[in-house]
Structure 1
Protein backbone atom coordinates (compact mmCIF):
# COMPACT_ATOMS: atom_id res chain seq x y z
CA UNK A 1 0.00 0.00 0.00
CA UNK A 2 1.43 3.37 -1.00
CA UNK A 3 1.49 6.26 1.49
CA UNK A 4 -1.34 8.77 1.37
CA UNK A 5 -0.63 11.85 -0.79
CA UNK A 6 0.38 14.83 1.34
CA UNK A 7 1.81 17.56 -0.90
CA UNK A 8 -0.14 19.62 -3.41
CA UNK A 9 1.65 17.86 -6.28
CA UNK A 10 0.96 14.40 -4.83
CA UNK A 11 -2.70 15.19 -4.18
CA UNK A 12 -3.24 16.70 -7.65
CA UNK A 13 -1.47 13.75 -9.31
CA UNK A 14 -3.59 11.29 -7.34
CA UNK A 15 -6.85 13.06 -8.17
CA UNK A 16 -6.14 13.46 -11.88
CA UNK A 17 -4.88 9.90 -12.36
CA UNK A 18 -8.47 8.65 -12.39
CA UNK A 19 -10.89 8.56 -15.28
CA UNK A 20 -13.23 11.53 -15.72
CA UNK A 21 -15.72 11.47 -12.85
CA UNK A 22 -19.49 11.73 -13.20
CA UNK A 23 -20.90 15.10 -14.22
CA UNK A 24 -22.71 15.04 -10.88
CA UNK A 25 -20.91 13.13 -8.13
CA UNK A 26 -23.82 13.51 -5.73
CA UNK A 27 -22.74 13.57 -2.10
CA UNK A 28 -19.98 11.01 -2.58
CA UNK A 29 -16.49 12.45 -2.20
CA UNK A 30 -14.00 10.62 -4.44
CA UNK A 31 -11.25 10.21 -1.83
CA UNK A 32 -12.59 11.15 1.63
CA UNK A 33 -9.16 10.49 3.10
CA UNK A 34 -7.88 13.53 1.16
CA UNK A 35 -10.36 16.02 2.64
CA UNK A 36 -8.17 16.91 5.63
CA UNK A 37 -4.85 16.88 3.73
CA UNK A 38 -6.34 19.22 1.09
CA UNK A 39 -7.74 21.55 3.74
CA UNK A 40 -4.37 21.57 5.53
CA UNK A 41 -2.25 22.51 2.51
CA UNK A 42 -0.20 25.69 2.77
CA UNK A 43 -1.83 27.02 -0.39
CA UNK A 44 -4.12 29.88 -1.33
CA UNK A 45 -7.76 29.15 -0.50
CA UNK A 46 -8.69 28.99 -4.21
CA UNK A 47 -6.15 26.24 -4.82
CA UNK A 48 -7.65 24.36 -1.87
CA UNK A 49 -11.20 24.95 -3.20
CA UNK A 50 -10.20 23.75 -6.68
CA UNK A 51 -8.63 20.58 -5.25
CA UNK A 52 -11.77 19.93 -3.17
CA UNK A 53 -13.81 20.33 -6.37
CA UNK A 54 -11.54 17.87 -8.22
CA UNK A 55 -12.08 15.48 -5.30
CA UNK A 56 -15.86 15.73 -5.83
CA UNK A 57 -16.06 17.48 -2.46
CA UNK A 58 -18.70 20.02 -3.36
CA UNK A 59 -19.36 21.00 0.25
CA UNK A 60 -15.83 22.11 1.12
CA UNK A 61 -15.39 23.93 -2.19
CA UNK A 62 -18.71 25.69 -1.58
CA UNK A 63 -17.62 26.97 1.83
CA UNK A 64 -14.64 28.75 0.28
CA UNK A 65 -16.48 30.03 -2.81
CA UNK A 66 -19.39 31.36 -0.78
CA UNK A 67 -17.11 33.12 1.72
CA UNK A 68 -15.45 34.97 -1.19
CA UNK A 69 -18.54 35.86 -3.19
CA UNK A 70 -17.87 38.68 -5.62
CA UNK A 71 -14.34 37.63 -6.51
CA UNK A 72 -14.23 36.41 -10.12
CA UNK A 73 -12.38 33.18 -9.32
CA UNK A 74 -14.63 32.44 -6.35
CA UNK A 75 -17.64 33.01 -8.61
CA UNK A 76 -16.15 30.65 -11.22
CA UNK A 77 -15.68 27.97 -8.55
CA UNK A 78 -19.22 28.65 -7.32
CA UNK A 79 -20.70 28.30 -10.82
CA UNK A 80 -18.78 25.09 -11.48
CA UNK A 81 -19.71 23.44 -8.19
CA UNK A 82 -23.41 24.21 -8.64
CA UNK A 83 -23.31 22.68 -12.12
CA UNK A 84 -21.66 19.59 -10.66
CA UNK A 85 -24.33 19.24 -7.99
CA UNK A 86 -27.07 19.51 -10.61
CA UNK A 87 -28.27 22.93 -9.47
CA UNK A 88 -28.31 24.22 -13.03
CA UNK A 89 -30.24 27.44 -12.54
CA UNK A 90 -27.92 28.47 -9.71
CA UNK A 91 -24.86 27.56 -11.79
CA UNK A 92 -26.02 29.87 -14.58
CA UNK A 93 -26.67 32.61 -12.04
CA UNK A 94 -23.04 32.35 -10.86
CA UNK A 95 -21.76 32.27 -14.45
CA UNK A 96 -23.54 35.60 -14.90
CA UNK A 97 -21.49 36.90 -11.96
CA UNK A 98 -18.20 35.67 -13.41
CA UNK A 99 -18.46 38.15 -16.32
CA UNK A 100 -14.81 37.80 -17.39
CA UNK A 101 -12.15 35.29 -16.35
CA UNK A 102 -8.98 34.07 -18.12
CA UNK A 103 -10.24 30.47 -17.94
CA UNK A 104 -13.61 31.20 -19.52
CA UNK A 105 -13.60 32.58 -23.07
CA UNK A 106 -17.32 33.32 -22.86
CA UNK A 107 -19.91 33.05 -20.12
CA UNK A 108 -22.52 32.23 -22.75
CA UNK A 109 -20.48 29.13 -23.67
CA UNK A 110 -20.23 28.22 -19.98
CA UNK A 111 -24.01 28.59 -19.60
CA UNK A 112 -24.56 26.54 -22.75
CA UNK A 113 -22.46 23.76 -21.20
CA UNK A 114 -24.67 23.91 -18.10
CA UNK A 115 -27.74 23.50 -20.34
CA UNK A 116 -26.09 20.55 -22.11
CA UNK A 117 -25.34 18.87 -18.78
CA UNK A 118 -28.96 19.29 -17.73
CA UNK A 119 -30.26 17.90 -21.05
CA UNK A 120 -27.96 14.87 -20.95
CA UNK A 121 -29.06 14.06 -17.42
CA UNK A 122 -32.76 14.59 -18.16
CA UNK A 123 -32.64 12.45 -21.32
CA UNK A 124 -30.22 9.88 -19.84
CA UNK A 125 -27.90 10.27 -22.82
CA UNK A 126 -24.25 9.22 -23.06
CA UNK A 127 -22.26 11.84 -21.18
CA UNK A 128 -18.72 10.61 -21.95
CA UNK A 129 -17.62 13.63 -23.97
CA UNK A 130 -19.13 16.02 -21.46
CA UNK A 131 -17.39 14.27 -18.55
CA UNK A 132 -14.11 14.61 -20.46
CA UNK A 133 -14.74 18.32 -21.07
CA UNK A 134 -15.59 18.85 -17.42
CA UNK A 135 -12.48 16.92 -16.32
CA UNK A 136 -10.28 19.06 -18.57
CA UNK A 137 -11.96 22.14 -17.12
CA UNK A 138 -11.31 20.98 -13.55
CA UNK A 139 -7.67 20.28 -14.36
CA UNK A 140 -7.31 23.78 -15.82
CA UNK A 141 -8.92 25.34 -12.75
CA UNK A 142 -6.45 23.55 -10.46
CA UNK A 143 -3.46 24.42 -12.66
CA UNK A 144 -4.54 28.03 -13.10
CA UNK A 145 -5.20 28.66 -9.42
CA UNK A 146 -1.85 27.09 -8.52
CA UNK A 147 -0.08 29.36 -11.01
CA UNK A 148 -1.95 32.54 -10.12
CA UNK A 149 -2.56 32.35 -6.37
CA UNK A 150 0.26 31.86 -3.93
CA UNK A 151 -0.24 31.15 -0.24
Structure 2
Protein backbone atom coordinates (compact mmCIF):
# COMPACT_ATOMS: atom_id res chain seq x y z
CA UNK A 1 0.00 0.00 0.00
CA UNK A 2 1.23 3.48 -0.81
CA UNK A 3 0.78 6.51 1.36
CA UNK A 4 -0.44 9.83 0.06
CA UNK A 5 3.05 11.27 0.56
CA UNK A 6 4.57 8.51 -1.56
CA UNK A 7 2.04 9.02 -4.35
CA UNK A 8 2.53 12.79 -4.29
CA UNK A 9 6.30 12.28 -4.47
CA UNK A 10 5.97 10.06 -7.55
CA UNK A 11 3.51 12.42 -9.25
CA UNK A 12 5.40 15.62 -8.48
CA UNK A 13 8.66 14.15 -9.76
CA UNK A 14 7.32 13.07 -13.13
CA UNK A 15 8.14 14.95 -16.28
CA UNK A 16 6.09 17.90 -17.43
CA UNK A 17 2.58 16.64 -18.28
CA UNK A 18 0.95 17.46 -21.60
CA UNK A 19 -1.74 20.12 -21.79
CA UNK A 20 -4.12 17.42 -22.97
CA UNK A 21 -3.36 13.83 -21.95
CA UNK A 22 -6.29 12.49 -23.95
CA UNK A 23 -7.47 9.20 -22.49
CA UNK A 24 -3.94 8.17 -21.50
CA UNK A 25 -3.38 7.93 -17.76
CA UNK A 26 0.22 8.76 -16.92
CA UNK A 27 0.80 5.87 -14.47
CA UNK A 28 -1.88 3.16 -14.54
CA UNK A 29 -0.30 1.55 -11.48
CA UNK A 30 -1.19 4.60 -9.38
CA UNK A 31 -4.90 4.55 -10.21
CA UNK A 32 -5.84 1.82 -7.73
CA UNK A 33 -3.46 3.18 -5.12
CA UNK A 34 -5.05 6.63 -5.37
CA UNK A 35 -8.55 5.13 -5.18
CA UNK A 36 -7.53 3.17 -2.08
CA UNK A 37 -6.31 6.18 -0.10
CA UNK A 38 -8.12 7.10 3.08
CA UNK A 39 -8.29 10.75 2.06
CA UNK A 40 -11.00 13.30 1.40
CA UNK A 41 -12.61 12.75 -2.01
CA UNK A 42 -11.18 16.03 -3.34
CA UNK A 43 -7.64 14.99 -2.44
CA UNK A 44 -8.25 11.77 -4.35
CA UNK A 45 -9.71 13.70 -7.32
CA UNK A 46 -6.75 16.11 -7.41
CA UNK A 47 -4.32 13.18 -7.35
CA UNK A 48 -6.19 11.56 -10.23
CA UNK A 49 -5.93 14.84 -12.13
CA UNK A 50 -2.17 14.97 -11.48
CA UNK A 51 -1.94 11.41 -12.83
CA UNK A 52 -3.74 12.47 -16.05
CA UNK A 53 -6.70 10.31 -14.99
CA UNK A 54 -9.44 12.56 -16.29
CA UNK A 55 -12.15 9.90 -15.97
CA UNK A 56 -11.73 9.22 -12.24
CA UNK A 57 -11.33 12.92 -11.45
CA UNK A 58 -14.53 13.59 -13.38
CA UNK A 59 -16.52 10.99 -11.45
CA UNK A 60 -15.69 12.68 -8.15
CA UNK A 61 -16.08 16.28 -9.30
CA UNK A 62 -19.38 15.62 -11.06
CA UNK A 63 -20.79 13.79 -8.02
CA UNK A 64 -20.03 16.88 -5.91
CA UNK A 65 -21.24 19.57 -8.30
CA UNK A 66 -21.85 22.89 -6.58
CA UNK A 67 -18.98 22.54 -4.14
CA UNK A 68 -16.35 25.18 -5.00
CA UNK A 69 -13.48 22.69 -5.02
CA UNK A 70 -15.41 20.15 -7.07
CA UNK A 71 -16.29 22.86 -9.58
CA UNK A 72 -12.64 23.93 -9.76
CA UNK A 73 -11.59 20.33 -10.43
CA UNK A 74 -14.36 20.07 -13.02
CA UNK A 75 -13.25 23.22 -14.86
CA UNK A 76 -9.63 22.09 -14.85
CA UNK A 77 -10.28 18.54 -16.04
CA UNK A 78 -12.39 19.72 -18.97
CA UNK A 79 -9.60 22.07 -20.03
CA UNK A 80 -7.15 19.17 -19.85
CA UNK A 81 -9.34 16.94 -21.97
CA UNK A 82 -9.62 19.65 -24.61
CA UNK A 83 -13.31 20.35 -23.99
CA UNK A 84 -12.67 24.09 -23.88
CA UNK A 85 -16.26 25.33 -24.07
CA UNK A 86 -17.28 23.08 -21.20
CA UNK A 87 -14.22 24.16 -19.23
CA UNK A 88 -15.18 27.82 -19.62
CA UNK A 89 -18.73 26.99 -18.53
CA UNK A 90 -17.35 25.49 -15.33
CA UNK A 91 -14.96 28.40 -14.81
CA UNK A 92 -18.04 30.65 -14.87
CA UNK A 93 -19.35 28.67 -11.90
CA UNK A 94 -16.12 28.63 -9.89
CA UNK A 95 -15.67 30.75 -6.80
CA UNK A 96 -12.57 29.45 -5.08
CA UNK A 97 -9.65 30.94 -3.14
CA UNK A 98 -7.16 29.41 -5.59
CA UNK A 99 -8.68 31.36 -8.49
CA UNK A 100 -8.43 35.12 -8.04
CA UNK A 101 -9.79 35.95 -11.51
CA UNK A 102 -12.29 34.01 -13.60
CA UNK A 103 -11.37 36.20 -16.58
CA UNK A 104 -7.74 35.13 -16.27
CA UNK A 105 -8.77 31.48 -15.91
CA UNK A 106 -10.87 31.67 -19.09
CA UNK A 107 -8.03 33.41 -20.95
CA UNK A 108 -5.79 30.52 -19.93
CA UNK A 109 -8.34 28.10 -21.42
CA UNK A 110 -8.28 30.09 -24.67
CA UNK A 111 -4.47 30.03 -24.76
CA UNK A 112 -4.45 26.27 -24.20
CA UNK A 113 -6.91 25.80 -27.06
CA UNK A 114 -4.71 27.82 -29.42
CA UNK A 115 -1.39 26.21 -28.50
CA UNK A 116 -2.23 22.60 -27.51
CA UNK A 117 -0.19 20.18 -29.57
CA UNK A 118 1.75 22.95 -31.33
CA UNK A 119 5.10 22.08 -29.81
CA UNK A 120 5.75 25.81 -29.49
CA UNK A 121 7.60 27.53 -26.69
CA UNK A 122 4.24 29.05 -25.70
CA UNK A 123 2.78 25.55 -25.28
CA UNK A 124 5.67 24.64 -22.98
CA UNK A 125 4.97 27.74 -20.88
CA UNK A 126 1.29 26.80 -20.68
CA UNK A 127 2.19 23.24 -19.67
CA UNK A 128 4.44 24.59 -16.92
CA UNK A 129 1.74 26.94 -15.66
CA UNK A 130 -0.87 24.19 -15.74
CA UNK A 131 1.40 21.78 -13.87
CA UNK A 132 2.04 24.36 -11.14
CA UNK A 133 -1.72 24.91 -10.93
CA UNK A 134 -2.41 21.18 -10.57
CA UNK A 135 0.32 20.69 -7.96
CA UNK A 136 -1.08 23.68 -6.08
CA UNK A 137 -4.53 22.10 -6.20
CA UNK A 138 -3.17 18.84 -4.78
CA UNK A 139 -1.43 20.70 -1.95
CA UNK A 140 -4.45 22.90 -1.26
CA UNK A 141 -6.85 19.96 -1.03
CA UNK A 142 -4.48 18.12 1.31
CA UNK A 143 -4.31 21.13 3.60
CA UNK A 144 -7.96 22.18 3.46
CA UNK A 145 -10.19 19.17 2.77
CA UNK A 146 -10.71 16.85 5.70
Deviation at 1:37, TM superposition (A): 0.6
Secondary structure at 2:60's aligned position in 1? Answer: helix
Match of 2:9 among 4, 9, 13: 13
Runs (4+) of structure 1 moved beyond 3 Å? 122-126
Contact 2:49–2:57, Cα closer than 8 Å, also in 1 = yes
1:66 and 2:62 aligned: yes
When residues 13 and 21 of structure 1 are mapped into structure 2, their CA distance, relative to the original with a 3 A threshold, is same
Q: What is the SS of the residue equivalent to 1:19?
A: coil
Quick check: 1:30 aligned with 2:26?
yes
CA separation in 1, counterparts of 2:29 and 2:116? 29
Q: 1:119 aligns with which of 114, 122, 146?
A: 114
- The secondary structure found in structure 2 opposite 1:27 is coil
Structure 1 residues not aligned, in runs of 5+: none
Match of 1:90 in 2: 86
* Residue 54, structure 1, aligned to residue 55, structure 2: no
Alignment RMSD? 1.2
Q: How many residues align?
A: 145
What is the TM-score normalised by the length of structure 2?
0.96
Shift in Å at residue 125 of structure 1? 3.4
Cα distance change of structure 1 residues 93 and 6 upon mapping to structure 2, 3 Å threshold: same
TM score, norm. by length of structure 1: 0.93
